[in-house]
Structure formats: structure tokens, C-alpha cells
Amino acid sequence: MTIKFRNRAEAGQMLARKLTAYAHCQDVLVLGLPRGGVPVAYEVAKALDAPLDICLVRKLGVPGHEELALGALAKLPGTEFASGGVEVLNPDVIKLLGIDRKTIEEVAAQEFQELQRRDRAYRGDRPQPEIKNRTIILIDDGIATGSTMRAAIIALRKQQPQRIVVAIPVAPPTTCEQLQAVVEEIICLIMPEPMYAIGLWYQDFSQTTDEEVRKLLAKQLLAKR
């Protein structure tokens, strides 16, 4: 198998070349999905001369098999869960494993605490970005099932953006087709079938830290002042 991206920064630079139509547009906002999506989104925001922020999403892992997603939880920065958060469930996994609602609620409550922690850690006292009537470019470092991205899209729709563009380096074609139905545009550099793990398409897929996320957000904020 050929390695396609050296690292997330290179993936972001390659994505940016596909998004030049959005360069220097006043209404564009680039949102990265922490943590791994933020280094990709940073390169896009820098190339487009656009502001950078985050859309907080967490996979809801099956207890004891956390790598298997029973759904996802999204929370827009600066909002309460009731107004800015959504839960997207994977009914096939839930039915197959016989997962009850109480278990789902327990997992969601735990992950929402992590979303709250990340919101405080990444944002600090910075205000929530304006979403309404803007073009949102939503970025992650890759998509497998698409549950986390769908949760992010649903949360964003509550804020009434003018347009949502999903931009990712790698995702399976079936997932891209499903997402195309719920956004205005999707850009994906590689659509392998089968895809296997996202990390297989990167030479360096080391974990992005909280500190890296904070530094990249602050760096682009200074560049836009």
C-alpha cells in the first residue's frame, strides 16, 4: 500500500489547493474536529486567509470495545448541550449488541464531560464564532463510518450557516456519498475501497495533543488580527 500523506500538515496543504475558490472570502470559517482534524484545518485556514475554530465531536464507544462506535456526540463551542449539542446513534451496532438506552446515556454523559473539558482547554475566554449565514468548511483528518462528522453537521445546521463544505483527506466512497446528501459540497482527496484504518494513509499519524490544538488556534487567531 502506498503512503499518501507524510503527516496531517501535508494533508491540509493538499486540501487547501482544492479549496482555492474560498480564499479571501469574508464569510468563510474553517472548523477543525479536535484533535486530529485541527492540524489539517490549520493549513487550510492559513492558505485561504480564513479564521480557524473548532467543532467539538466525540465518538460514543461501545463499553469494553471503545474502538467500535455506537454513535457520536457533538457540541459547538460556547453552547450548552441542549441548544448546541446533538447525539447521532448507529442503530445497526446498537441492535446487534443489544445496547440499552441506559448504557447509551451513561456513555454519552461521560463523553460530554470530555467535550466540556476540551471546550475550556482549547477556547479559554475566546467568544464563540458566528456560524449563522457563513460558509463553514468542516475538516477532519479522515472519516471511517461518518458518525462523528454527521453529528458535527447536525449541530452546525442548528446555527443556520449559509453553506457547509466537508473537506477531508481520506474517506471511503460510500461514506462520502452519504455525506454529500446532507451538505452543499464535499471534497475528499482519496476514497479507497476498502479503506481500513485512517492512520494507514499517513506516514506520521501520531496523536495530536491538547497543547498542539491550543497553539494552532492561537497562531491563526494572531494571523487574522
Instruction: Supply the range of the domain harboring residue 134.
Output: 8-223
Tens digit of each residue's pLDDT (9 = 90 or more) over 132-178: 999 999 999 999 888 889 889 988 988 899 999 999 999 999 999 99
Please report the pLDDT score of residue 83 as a whole number. Answer: 40
pLDDT given at position 59: 84
Whether 151 is covered by a domain: the verdict is yes
Distance CA 116, CA 112 (A): 6
What pLDDT shows up at residue 67?
74
What residues contact 31, with CB distance under 8 A and at least 6 apart?
A: 41, 52, 53, 54, 55, 129, 136, 137, 138, 139, 152, 156
- Does 121 map to a domain? yes
Angstrom distance (rounded) from CA 215 to CA 32: 14
In a domain, 1, yes or no: no
- The pLDDT of residue 197 is 87
pLDDT at 81: 47
Residue 2 in domain? no
What's the pLDDT at 2? 60
Q: Which three cell numbers stand for residue 85?
A: 449539542
> Residue 21's pLDDT is what?
97
Residue 129's pLDDT is 85
Residues of the chain falling short of pLDDT 50: 1, 81-84
The total of structural domains in the chain comes to 1
Q: What is the CATH number of the domain that holds 92?
A: 3.40.50.2020
Q: Report pLDDT for 7.
A: 97
- At residue 82, the pLDDT reads 40
The DSSP secondary-structure symbol of 5 reads B
Q: Is residue 3 part of a domain?
A: no
Q: pTM for the whole thing? A: 0.88
Burial of residue 147 (number of CB atoms within 10 Å: 0-12, 13-18, 19+): buried
